[in-house]
Amino acid sequence: MRKSSLPGDPSLTFSGIVGKTYAAESFPKEDYVIDGSRYDSEGNWAFCRFESDEVYAARMGFEKGGFNITEKQLSTDKALLQLHLELMTRDGAVLWLPTGTFDADALISDSEQMDIRLSHEGRDIFSISGWPRMNWHFQSVEGDAEANLDFTLQNVTVLPDCILPHCVFSMWETMGDVGGFVRFKDRKIEVSGKVFFDHPRIINQRNNVVPRHLYLYTTMYFEDGSGIFGYHAEDKSGKPLSYYCFGIHIDPLNQGKFLADADMQELKFDENNLPASWRLEWADRDYRIDLEVTVKPATLLQSWGSTLAPKTLKDFIILPLILDGTVSVRTKGGGKTLRGYGLAEYFNVDYWDV
């Protein structure tokens, strides 16, 4: 198997071309339905950023199947389901994290259309249905936390395959509008904004590669209707992994631009070892994006669902990071500066309790 995929190459697991942006309505169903016969793990994860002063964001999703993203020799349990429902409210983070409490075989998925469901003791835990208009409904077992959101997806971009020591981690990303409501206990809030939704597919295999030690995943959308998402990844020595440092800029007409020349600068951390601010630059010969972001300070309001649920923010290094910022877009046709907001995720092996 080829050990890398770069813009213009076919993806190792999807039918599309790496770096290419497709209209969501024309994206083939075989690339978004679950196929347990061919892949060791698949999932769906939504990063929602709202235009709300009460609830800033929600991250929710699942992963079915065992995999190992570290460099260590670890056994993986394919029988368990990874599951998150996270509401980032003005009063603090609400984290329902029941990973490991549901059997993966309880997940029901349709092989012909987007229709995935999980029930437990007569209660619907989550359902994901439709394409490119989708409904995501997640709720905790006892009903204290809930998100019922409608997505209107506009574009899909196939990302480079991430070749890790114990697996090939492939993914596409889609961007669209989101609306609906979220609820914590008796507090129900109507929300609207943008969603960045990704679909990982994983093949477990040994690869002789430099391990990925950390990554920072950044999503933002801007006041003119454009948006950007991208990754910065480093090895243990702090050297960027060039094939997984990139950005994809989606213009107001839903045209995507893959930017492989990426540079992370001025990354600063808070007292919980979480990123607090950074600058990212992405460019090619006649195209340049300069992004400056700051993270809203966060507190932990409630966390439950399993014995692994964090007690403090220091225990949860992959907390959704609420972003505000500005972007400068410069092309041969001119330039502009825009305000934006989004969501990020940070992973660092040093702080990961395996």
3 state SS for the chain: CCCCCCCCCECCCCCCECCCEEEHHHCCHHHCCCCCCCCCEEEEEEEEEECCCCEEEEEEEEEECCCCCCCCCCCCCCCEEEEEEEEEECCEEEEECCCCCCEHHHCEECCCCCEEEEEECCEEEEEEECCCEEEEEEECCCCCEEEEEEEEEEEEEECCCEEECCEEEEEEEEEEEEEEEEEECCEEEEEEEEEEEEEEEEEECCCCCCCCCEEEEEEEEECCCCEEEEEEEECCCCCECHHHCEEEEECCCCCEEEECEEEEEEEEECCCCCEEEEEEEEEECCEEEEEEEEECCCCEEEEECCCCCCCCHHHCCCCCEEEEEEEEEEECCEEEEEEEEEEEEEEEHHHCCC
Q: Around Cβ 26, how many Cβ atoms within 10 Å?
A: 8
37-66 pLDDT per residue, tens = 889 889 999 999 999 999 999 999 999 987
Query: Is pLDDT above 80 for 163?
Result: yes
Per-residue pLDDT at 172 exceeds 90: yes
User: Is the pLDDT confidence value at 353 over 60?
Assistant: no
**CB count in 10 Å sphere of residue 269:** 14
Cα–Cα distance, 323 to 245 (Å, whole number): 19
Residue keyed to tokens 């972003």: 323
Q: Where are the domains of the chain?
A: 21-351
Of the candidates 130, 172, 153, the residue with the CA atom closest to the CA atom of residue 14: 172
Give the percent of the chain with pLDDT over 70: 94
d(CA 180, CA 138): 12
Give the separation between CA 207 and CA 10, rounded to whole angstroms. Answer: 19
Strand partners, 120: 123
The pLDDT of residue 168: 85
Question: Which tokens in the block code for residue 166?
Answer: 């114990």
pTM: 0.94
Distance of CA 122 to the CA centre of its chain: 29
Q: How many CB atoms lie within 10 A of CB 145?
A: 24
CATH class belonging to 21-351: mainly beta
Q: Are 140 and 146 in contact (CB under 8 A)?
A: yes
Q: Rounded to whole angstroms, how far apart are CA atoms 246 and 202?
A: 20
User: How confident is the model over 67-94, as pLDDT tens digits?
Assistant: 666 666 665 666 679 999 999 999 999 9
* Beta carbons within 10 angstroms of residue 290's beta carbon: 18
Query: What average pLDDT does the segment 147-162 reach?
Result: 96
Nearest C-alpha neighbor of 243 from the set 157, 348, 344, 162: 162
Instruction: Give the model's pLDDT for residue 74.
Output: 61
Is residue 200 pLDDT above 70, yes or no? yes
Q: What is the dihedral of CA 67, 97, 124, 41, to 10 degrees?
A: -10
- The confidence score (pLDDT) of residue 6 equals 77
Residue 350, pLDDT > 50, answer yes
Residue 2 has pLDDT above 70, yes or no: no
Asked whether 226 and 250 are in contact (CB, 8 A), the reply is: yes
